[in-house]
Amino acid sequence: MDRVVIVGGGFAGLAAARRLADAPVEVEVVDQHNFHTFQPLLYEVATAGLDPADVAYPIRTVLRRTPNAHFVHGRVSGFDLATRSIRLEDGRTLSYDRLIVASGAAAAVFGVPGVVDHALFLYTLDDARWVRNQVLAALERSDASADDTLAPVIVVVGGGPTGVETAGAMAELIDIAIRHDRLRLDPQRTRIVLLDAKTRLLPGFPPGASAYAERTLRARGVEVRLGLGVDAVSPAGVTLAGGELLPATLVIWAAGVAVDGTVAADLPGRRGPGGRVMVQPDLSLPDHPEVFIVGDAAAVPDPGLATPGEGHLEADHTERFLPQLAQVAIQSGDHAARQVLSLLEGRPTAPFAYHDKGVMATIGRRSAVAQLANGVIVRGSLGWLAWLVLHLVYLIGFRNRVVVLVNWAWRYFRWPSGPRLIIGDVPAGPPTVSRHGQIDCPECGA
């Protein structure tokens, strides 16, 4: 029986596995984590609205519905396309007849000095947990200090959905910390600054939605500063283009994503923006019809006319490729699996066509903007409700849906609960720095 190896248990990889559930193939899903991460909600983990377990789901549980699929826990170290096998870091090799690479992306730093060492990211669950611990520990340090000049300043770089959602939820977190948790912070000195080099927020949305997002964030106390590039990040803060130093307690870098280079570096062929692997219209790797690249790892040409979503492209993606969104990942993973089945049956492959279902972003509690596929804009409470329903529908696994719903119900009714827990990323003992070398945290979880 043909063996299909899927690298990555994200949206794209699991969509591919599910499509192959009833097919006469043996499927192996490889991931370095034993869980799927619901990335669109990582900002909620980072701002202590949801717990890490609310947005993570064991891949083995997901695969119960696909009895021909098996999970392999390991980190891919390279591809050997000639022998049709992949290597894992622990020395194992997995051979395949068909390969679907859904290895995802990582934060893009665009070569800005200091970002890797001094900023926090929001791309993995560990990133989000680390941001949560750092933010809560910074609030506790300010509470402990009688010096108001130590009030936390949180700078979010990036005005796309992730930056907007993070800034909005962070404003709520600080509001709860002051009003309900009685942290001794001066609301006038506790600042959240949202920066972007572009001149409007949510560049993938229509201008009216951008203006609404900006207005709503300002009303919640977020300072929105647009048209300002970042020259460097240091322990002192952010150096803006032009030389101004914006002092910052924490810098959250949400300026864009690039391909996860460690996995994709081995693959032949041209690269698109952010190092993404250029694929054929059917999503296969040039000269390797048995290999498909899907999700954030792929640079998928956007035919433009076929999709009403061209206007939604985030500005850090060029106009010519599909954006790195969950919907693109799900649909491309599913498409690749369908092509595997076509090849198995001796049929030709078909080009991938993306069906835009719209884009949306929350701006804190009870506010969101959504552009539906038909171009209609929904905003305010109705937009938030649309966002909630859509995310619940896509949350994998019933148990998670219940827990997430309970949390959200709480938030909606302004019962300021939530897991504001500093559960140590770092083993107790002397403070350490994370893999990104972020500011260390003498009090968090030690």
Give Cα separations from 293 to 31, 201, 279, 333 (angstroms). 15, 30, 7, 8
Q: Which of 195, 194, 240, 186 is nearest to 217 (CA)?
A: 194
Q: Which one, 179 or 218, has the nearer CB to its own copies?
A: 179
Rounded to whole angstroms, the Cα distance separating 80 from 288 reads 12
CA geometry: angle 168, 431, 123, nearest 5 deg? 35
Judge whether 223 counts as a catalytic residue. no
Smallest separation, CB 154 to its own copies (Å):
18
Q: Which one, 192 or 422, has the nearer CB to its own copies?
A: 422
Smallest separation, CB 282 to its own copies (Å):
32
Q: Give the binding site for its own copies (CB under 8 A).
A: 32-35, 51-53, 56, 58, 60-61, 63-64, 70, 72-75, 89-90, 92, 124-126, 129, 136-137, 140-141, 143-144, 180-183, 397, 399, 402-403, 406, 410, 417, 419-429, 432, 434-435, 442-443, 445-446
Q: Which of 124, 17, 123, 21 is nearest to 71 (CA)?
A: 17
Are residues 291 and 101 in contact, defined by beta-carbon separation less than 8 angstroms?
A: yes
Q: Which of 373, 334, 293 is nearest to 103 (CA)?
A: 293
Q: Which one, 53 or 240, has the nearer CB to its own copies?
A: 53
Q: Which one, 74 or 311, has the nearer CB to its own copies?
A: 74
Q: Which one, 43 or 321, has the nearer CB to its own copies?
A: 43
Neighbour tally for 409: CB within 10 Å:
12
Rounded to whole angstroms, the Cα distance separating 18 from 32 reads 19
Smallest separation, CB 146 to its own copies (Å):
10
Smallest separation, CB 112 to its own copies (Å):
22
Smallest separation, CB 140 to its own copies (Å):
4
Catalytic residue chosen out of the listed positions 28, 165, 214, 314: 165
**Which stretches within 107-206 are classed as H helix?**
115-118, 125-144, 161-179
Range list of β-strands (E), 163-281? 191-196, 222-226, 230-234, 237-240, 245-247, 250-253, 257-259, 277-278
Cite the active site residues.
Answer: 165
